């Protein structure tokens, strides 16, 4: 089955092999393998180790074009090594992040107009990934006539946060769906103005005890375990220690239908990182 394969390097430069007339007569990009551990002859855990992938590229070009291609390949892939930032292969919506660790120039111009380059890739993120997004807009609120329980010292003072707020405001509530069969890492971006922004999904509270002015935003990254606030002038502030610790703010979000509940005073969006061992199959 022919794959429409694209590679994007860490500078955002693309190589669309199909448009360039480059053919891959074999690759193992879709292949995968789980490692497992045993306890008492029972299989207990599964994991994936860093992987190496191989893609041979075949060109039918003249000698001048062959020289251009070889130079282009070197510059396109080596920039990721120089920047120490992975590029990615793209099949449809799916991405595999990797480095090109080496090239072999097999049968280099053995025949007039024939060129073959075999590239080897390595990755410590062996799953294919795509993003799904859900956006939530600010909603109208009621009057603030009641006590609202927001305190960065709540856990220290009371030994734990309450699972609800003592407030008279109208809470925001919106459904969303994660189209996947497994739990997903995510990136939640909360836009100011907001005071101690809090989002409840299922039984997990995602909250940071910080204040966001207009045009400021906060990013909670579950994959990299980061909580970063970005000011109007672009300054980044680490808010890791200001997170609500009642639940882990980095708890993955499961596949299926959910509702997001918040006070409605701010807007936010969630990018879900859906991962698979191999991208979905489609006819080209």
Residue 18 has a pLDDT of: 78
Location of structure tokens 């429409």: 4
CB 128 within 8 A of CB 280: no
Location of structure tokens 């995510």: 186
CB 50 within 8 A of CB 124: yes
Q: What average pLDDT does the chain have?
A: 85
Residue 113 has a pLDDT of: 67
Instruction: Kindly report, residue by residue over 77-108, the tens digit of the pLDDT.
Output: 999 999 999 999 999 999 999 999 999 887 66
CB 182 within 8 A of CB 213: no
Cα–Cα distance measured from residue 3 to residue 174, given in angstroms and rounded to the nearest whole number: 38
Nearest to 195 by CA among 144, 235, 249: 144
Instruction: Kindly report, residue by residue over 29-64, the tens digit of the pLDDT.
Output: 999 999 999 998 899 899 999 999 999 888 777 777
Q: Domains in the chain, please, with CATH?
A: 6-126 (2.40.30.200), 131-276 (2.60.120.880)
CB 175 within 8 A of CB 259: yes
Question: Token pair for residue 191?
Answer: 């836009």
% of the chain exceeding 90 in pLDDT: 65
Nearest to 29 by CA among 127, 147, 164, 157: 127
Residue 105 has a pLDDT of: 81
What sign does the CA torsion over 107, 109, 110, 115 have? positive
Composition of the chain by helix, strand, coil, percent to 5: 10, 45, 45
Residue 170 has a pLDDT of: 45
Q: What residues pair up with 123 in beta bridges, in sequence order?
A: 51
Question: Token pair for residue 84?
Answer: 């120490």
Question: Token pair for residue 199?
Answer: 């989002």
Location of structure tokens 């111009």: 109
Q: What residues pair up with 238 in beta bridges, in sequence order?
A: 228
CB 227 within 8 A of CB 237: no
Residue 44 has a pLDDT of: 87
Residues of the chain scoring pLDDT < 70? 1-2, 23, 25, 107-113, 140-171, 283-284
Cα–Cα distance measured from residue 174 to residue 169, given in angstroms and rounded to the nearest whole number: 16
Rounded to 5 degrees, φ, ψ at 222 are -70, -30
State the virtual CA torsion across 95, 131, 223, 101 in degrees, nearest 10.
10
Q: Are strands 217-221 and 226-230 parallel, antiparallel or unpaired?
A: antiparallel
- The DSSP call for residue 23 is B
> E strands of 28-113, at which residues?
35-39, 42-47, 51-60, 87-91, 94-104
């Amino acid at each position: 089955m022919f794959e429409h394969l694209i590679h994007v390097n860490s500078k955002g430069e693309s190589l669309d092999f199909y448009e360039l007339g480059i053919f891959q007569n074999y690759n193992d990009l879709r292949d995968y393998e789980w490692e497992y551990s045993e306890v008492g002859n029972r299989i207990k855990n599964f994991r994936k180790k860093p992987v190496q992938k191989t893609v041979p590229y075949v060109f039918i070009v003249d000698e001048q074009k062959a020289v251009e291609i070889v130079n282009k390949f070197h510059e396109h892939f080596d920039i990721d090594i120089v920047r120490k930032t992975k590029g990615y292969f793209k099949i449809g919506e799916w991405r595999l992040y990797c480095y090109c660790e080496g090239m072999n120039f097999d049968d280099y111009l053995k025949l007039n107009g024939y060129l073959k380059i075999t590239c080897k890739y390595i990755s410590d993120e062996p799953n294919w990934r795509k993003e799904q997004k859900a956006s939530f807009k600010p909603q109208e609120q009621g009057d603030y006539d009641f006590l609202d329980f927001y305190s960065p010292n709540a856990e220290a003072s009371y030994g734990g946060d309450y699972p609800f707020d003592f407030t008279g405001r109208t809470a925001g509530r919106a459904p969303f769906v994660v189209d996947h069969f497994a739990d997903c890492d995510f990136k939640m971006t909360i836009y100011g103005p907001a005071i101690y922004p809090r989002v409840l999904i299922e039984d997990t509270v995602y909250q940071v005890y910080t204040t966001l002015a207009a045009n400021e935003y906060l990013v909670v990254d579950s994959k990299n375990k980061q909580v970063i606030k970005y000011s109007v002038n672009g300054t980044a502030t680490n808010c890791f220690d200001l997170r609500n610790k009642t639940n882990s703010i980095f708890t993955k979000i499961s596949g299926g239908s959910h509702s997001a509940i918040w006070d409605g005073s701010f807007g936010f969006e969630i990018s879900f990182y859906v991962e698979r061992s191999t991208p979905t199959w489609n006819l080209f």
